[in-house]
Amino acid sequence: MGEITLLKRVPNKAEAEIIKSYLESNGIYVFLKSSTVPYGDGPVMGMGGPVEIWVPENSVETAMELLEKRESNMGGGSENDSTEG
């Protein structure tokens, strides 16, 4: 699979799981990591803080295109969303 790259940070695990499911349904492996580690995940097992979405380096461009398409179909994303690229 090679190296993985940070694709995006989202406010919580619920949103991260939705994006993970969407990307994986389009054939992209996704790894989620709490942004609060090593300080803990918050009061509800991973629901309490930002989550990083990581994908294989060779899938970053496709993943970004899929997310842009998804967000435009949903009427935009959150102002707090950040992407790396």
Residue-wise pLDDT tens digits, 33-67: 987 765 555 555 545 689 999 999 999 999 999 99
The domain in which residue 66 lies consists of 4-83
Q: Which two tokens stand for residue 61?
A: 């461009």
Residue-wise pLDDT tens digits, 16-31: 999 999 999 999 999 9
With b meaning 16 or more CB within 10 Å and e meaning fewer, what string describes 25-44? Answer: eeebebeeebeeeeeebeee
Specify the CATH number for the domain of residue 15.
Answer: 3.30.70
Identity at 31, one-letter amino acid code: F
What total number of domains does the chain contain? 1
Which pTM does this prediction carry? 0.73
